[in-house]
Amino acid sequence: MSKKNTMSQEVDAYVSAQSPATRRALEELRSCIWQAAPNVSELMNYNIPAFSLVEGGKRDQQVMIAGYLKHVGFYPHPDVIEAFADQLAEYKLAKGSVQFPLNKPIPKELVMKMVKYRLSQLRK
């Protein structure tokens, strides 16, 4: 059985266990990732939801999301954060991650662009 296009029950459980605001934001991020990369497969990695962009993809071939009290974390890859730094200026950034506060809308178009960018890097 192919691992492509698989949603994970562990990811479902992780998302369900969050507060309503965090859950909504995680569901939006999850939806953006699926729209941008329809062949992803979900798994849990480092106890947070991960999306393998290539079949059997290891950590640097995944994007990850995580829920927190006041924000959701999106972990696309340091190269992606660097490439989109100007568009992410209003958010708190780290080397390979961005924090989207729960009191602001998720920038869905931007998230999809970032996922597609990472996917194109991996296909090179």
The whole-angstrom separation of Cα 38 and Cα 117 is 14
In sign, the C-alpha dihedral spanning 26, 29, 35, 40 is negative
The whole-angstrom separation of Cα 100 and Cα 91 is 7
Sheet with 41-45, edge to edge strand ranges: 41-45, 48-52, 62-67, 71-75, 97-101, 92-94
pLDDT, tens digit (0-9, with 9 covering 90-100), for 31-44: 999 999 999 999 99
**Using 50, 70 and 90 to split pLDDT, how confident is the model at 2?**
very low
pLDDT, tens digit (0-9, with 9 covering 90-100), for 80-122: 999 999 999 999 999 999 999 999 999 999 999 999 999 999 9
What is the topology classification, in CATH, of domain 9-123? Aspartate Aminotransferase, domain 1 (3.90.1150)
The reported pTM is 0.93
